[in-house]
Amino acid sequence: MTLLACEGGQPVRPDFLVFGRPKIGEEEIAEVADTLRSGWIGFGPKCLRFEAEFSRFAHAPHAVSVNSATAALHLALIVLDMRRGDEVVTTPLTFAATANVIVHTGARPVFADVDPQTQNLDPGELERAITPRTRAVIPVHMTGWPCEMDAIAAIARKNGLQVIEDAAHAVEAWYRGRKIGSLSRFTAFSFYATKNLTTAEGGMLTTYDDSVVERLRILRLHGLDKDAWKRYSQGGFVPYQTLEPGFKYNMTDIQASLGVHQLKRLERNLEVRERLWHLYDEGLAGVEGVRTPRLPASPGTRHARHLYTIQLDLEKLSVDRAQFMKALSAENIGTGIHFVPVHLHRFYQNTYGYRRGDFPEAERIGDRTVSLPLSASMDEDDALDVVTAVRKVARHYLLRETVASIAIEAETVMPDARV
């Protein structure tokens, strides 16, 4: 058997494959240079252009640019007047930001368990989590696969809840023939460095609600009635007023310079990740100790292919996930964990009394999940290296009993092979 690199063997590849490396083209670099030379680098015309193009792309009447998806989610909760005494339901299988913003408003984050196959908020569990204090739900399109939005919207309607979609992973996703970003009153997108569309840091909030757009724009820049672009573009300084204490959540023209070109290349980048995804599916099918993603058929639904996550069959392996990832790292393959469920984080346990055992499906996934590199900056050889490394590590750590039972099964199926 080939020796693992972490035990002194040869790594699968000579250089480290970074998990989540962004793909930045020459167009983005030229646009950023143009912005820097222009002298207008803060919120300005390129942010306005990016917002207009993104709103067309997302089939959303309005798109408000901000400096992160966290800011987008927070602003949505603020305009919905979420406050102490309110409850907002979300999934525990998400990045902490989804729950943190609920805490920032004074409302209580209430978790509801996920569907084991899609890893998304289970509509049945959402319904069970609703109390007379529940005012909103934040479904997260985990890994880029849309939540069951028809069921969630029906539950929300029945119970008078607001829906804010967390589409940090799902910029290119469609749900049953409709573009993610156009379905609910609010949808938040992330343009962090590792995301499918990146502006280094950044985010967008889409909405169809004309009545809140102006307030969102005011709140993202300190609560001022005029942003700097409006104040200076007519030539001279125009005085401004603080309408309410807002936030420093605006995007800049440097970020938007990246965004407009990332948006143009989005489909091509998705095609690259789709090819890599299929290579993983094929190369890892049937590998003992490892399970690949299996999603239900859903006509008109498109996966944004943000994260390719495998689940380790820990019962069949002689090591835990940390050692498995360490072994992959020694093979020069970077990996990630998405996510340690939020209710297992210290703050949420100490503040709200959440405990292990509260959300068994999220915990099962959270304990076993490993995200493999998936980025348009990779080529097919990179993906094949990942497959080779996962196979090598899984085979090495397969428990002897598992190997023996596979051998018995093989003998039963193919008695002639026993010569």
Residues whose CB is less than 8 angstroms from the CB of residue 280 and which lie 6 or more positions away in sequence, other chains included: 292, 308, 372, 374, 383, 386, 387
Interface region with ligand T4K, contact rule CB under 6 A, candidates 2-10, 40-48, 64-72, 120-128: 64-72
The residue among 301 and 371 lying less far from ligand T4K, judged by its C-beta, is: 371
Q: Does 98 bind ligand T4K (CB under 6 A)?
A: yes
Q: Which of 12, 32, 76, 97 is in the footprint of ligand T4K by CB under 6 A?
A: 97
β-strands 369-372, 308-312 pairing: antiparallel
The residue among 317 and 333 lying less far from ligand T4K, judged by its C-beta, is: 333
Q: Does 24 bind ligand T4K (CB under 6 A)?
A: no
Q: Does 336 bind ligand T4K (CB under 6 A)?
A: yes
Q: Is residue 128 helix, strand or coil?
A: helix
Nearest distance from residue 234's CB to ligand T4K, in Å?
A: 33
Give the active site residues: 195
Q: Does 69 bind ligand T4K (CB under 6 A)?
A: yes
Q: What would the two tokens of residue 197 be?
A: 């569309």
Nearest distance from residue 405's CB to ligand T4K, in Å?
A: 36
Q: Which of 43, 95, 175, 348 is in the footprint of ligand T4K by CB under 6 A?
A: 95
Nearest distance from residue 134's CB to ligand T4K, in Å?
A: 20
Nearest distance from residue 255's CB to ligand T4K, in Å?
A: 11
Q: What share of the chain is helix, strand, coil (3-state, %, to 5)?
A: 45, 15, 40
**Angle 380-397/266-284 helices, nearest 10 degrees?**
30
Q: What mask of x and - would describe binding to ligand T4K in positions 152 to 181, judged by CB under 6 A?
A: --------------x-xx------------
DSSP, residue by residue, 25-80: -HHHHHHHHHHHHHT--SSSHHHHHHHHHHHHHTT-SEEEEES-HHHHHHHHHHHT
Whether 335 contacts 329, CB under 8 Å: yes
Q: Does 91 bind ligand T4K (CB under 6 A)?
A: no
Amino acid at position 388, single letter: T
Q: Does 139 bind ligand T4K (CB under 6 A)?
A: no
The residue among 57 and 95 lying less far from ligand T4K, judged by its C-beta, is: 95
Number of residues that bind ligand T4K (CB under 6 A): 24
Nearest distance from residue 98's CB to ligand T4K, in Å?
A: 5
Q: What number of CA atoms fall less than 13 Å from residue 251's CA on the CB side?
A: 36
Whether 62 contacts 212, CB under 8 Å: no
Q: Does 249 bind ligand T4K (CB under 6 A)?
A: no
The residue among 194 and 349 lying less far from ligand T4K, judged by its C-beta, is: 194
Nearest distance from residue 18's CB to ligand T4K, in Å?
A: 5
In whole angstroms, give the CA distance from residue 65 to residue 45: 12
Q: Is residue 207 helix, strand or coil?
A: strand
Q: How far apart are the first and last CA of the chain?
A: 21
In the complex, the residues that contact ligand T4K under the rule CB under 6 A are: 18-22, 68-70, 94-95, 97-98, 140, 166, 168-169, 190, 192-194, 203, 334, 336, 338
